[in-house]
Amino acid sequence: MFVRFARHPVVLIAAVLGVAVPALGLVPSPPDVSGVPQASAAPAAKPVPKGKKPKKVPRFVFTFEGRGFGHGVGMSQYGAYGAARAGQRVQDIIAHYYRGTTLTVLPVTPVRVLLGTGAVSVTLSADGPWGVVAENTPLQVIRPLPPGVNLKVTRAGDGVVVSDPDGAELLKAQGPLRFAPTDAASTTVFRGVRYRGALRIIPEVATFTVVNHIDLEQYLPGVVPREMPSRWGDDAPAALQAQAIAARSYAMATKRSGGVFDMYADQRSQVYGGADAEDPRTTAAVVATAGTVVTLSGQIVTTFFFSTSGGRTENVENVFRGSPRSYLVSVDDEAFDATSPHHIWRDPKTFTDAELSHLLGIKRPVLKIKVLERGVSPRVKLIRFTSRSGAVKEMRGTEVRSLLGLRDTWFTPRRRVRTPATLRLVAARR
């Protein structure tokens, strides 16, 4: 920061006489209640005594103390677990986190889950009787395939070829192929994972896309145990049932329209592990809530869920860009969420001023931090970083969380002088 000083007669006289004049300086304002010095207009500068150097601004480390784990919107999974252990029913849990909603039962619904793209060849097998259908043939005839054998799907000009391990051609066709077990107990194996339903192999320009076509109620047993610990069913089955309802509703509310698939098999939709992820306790939760979704005014709602609230969830508009939603508002969760190991962070992250500037894309080391706006919970919405050069950068709390690897946006930055002791703290908390 450059400060323009008014021309002073003494300076002019000294310049004429060739007399040295001590440099003028700014006096820092006292720290605010958080211990971070605030920018303010400096009082009249005093000359630095001859032979003394201006006082240096110390270097700092910053600790981000906080609560919670996740985006903070919708159902806290640890909160649901605590509520279920306290005897609350699944209906009570859903009503608490998704305000003003009702439960509705859907008919059986098919979904399409993207498993892979860009493969130049695809290897498949099955653990029981199975077959393949060439979709572009006039007669959709199932061609039986040998179980327990790895078959390879490759391109042959404009066509698609299915070969056995010896390279013998079993089928050649145009367009997509659909592989599926021919009995309910069997599964198809792709990339070492077993899947129920059918696997559709779609030829692209030079590669393949693999999509799992499956009923929603067969899909969910591969999702719920990847999103919530199955062991919670031992003492809190209502928590798993709430997760099953939330996962079912989220899948239906966020399905893609058009294209060759409806949802991803990872965090872009929900984590899906196929038949290999299934657990009897989570499968029982899916069966107990079969077809049940969360609705408002006859529409399935987007049932966001996350790990740990830290004691209160957040309004959706304060985390995700968009309009408020009446069913995704901040609710008190202190009574049940405290069972989480991340309810209050036991190991908050600490960074040096230089590390912080590097991670946030600021050219000079960070000098001070000020939270400008918080949500209801109160998660950080907007925060300001000021560097030692005076440069200012304002960022959304969600962006800071991502860049610094924080668990949540419910955090408070604390500044301390950089010393050997605080540097050891930085090393210990990486």
Q: In this predicted model, what pLDDT tens digit does every residue of 227-266 receive, in sequence order?
A: 999 999 999 999 999 999 999 999 999 999 889 999 999 9
CA 430 – CA 426 distance, rounded (Å): 6
Dihedral pair phi/psi, residue 79, rounded to 5°: -65, -40
Please report the pLDDT score of residue 291 as a whole number: 97
Residues of the chain with pLDDT under 70: 1-55, 429-430
CA torsion sign, 93 to 103 to 280 to 191?
negative
Structure tokens at 426: 């930085």
Nearest residue to 333 via CA among 77, 17, 30: 77
Please report the pLDDT score of residue 141 as a whole number: 86
Please report the pLDDT score of residue 15 as a whole number: 36
pTM for the full predicted model: 0.83
Please report the pLDDT score of residue 52 as a whole number: 63
For residue 272, the tally of other CB atoms under 10 A from its CB is 26
Please report the pLDDT score of residue 19 as a whole number: 39
Dihedral pair phi/psi, residue 372, rounded to 5°: -90, -30
CA 17 – CA 28 distance, rounded (Å): 32
155 touches 176 (CB < 8 A): no
| CB neighbour burial string for 40-64, b if at least 16 within 10 angstroms, e if fewer | eeeeeeeeeeeeeeeeeeebbbbbb
Give the C-alpha distances (Å, rounded to integers) separating 82 from 77, 183, 312, 358: 9, 40, 14, 40
Please report the pLDDT score of residue 11 as a whole number: 35
Please report the pLDDT score of residue 17 as a whole number: 35
Give the H/E segment covering residue 426. helix 420-428
How far from each other are the two terminal CA atoms of the chain, in whole angstroms? 32
Please report the pLDDT score of residue 45 as a whole number: 53
Please report the pLDDT score of residue 426 as a whole number: 77
208 touches 202 (CB < 8 A): yes
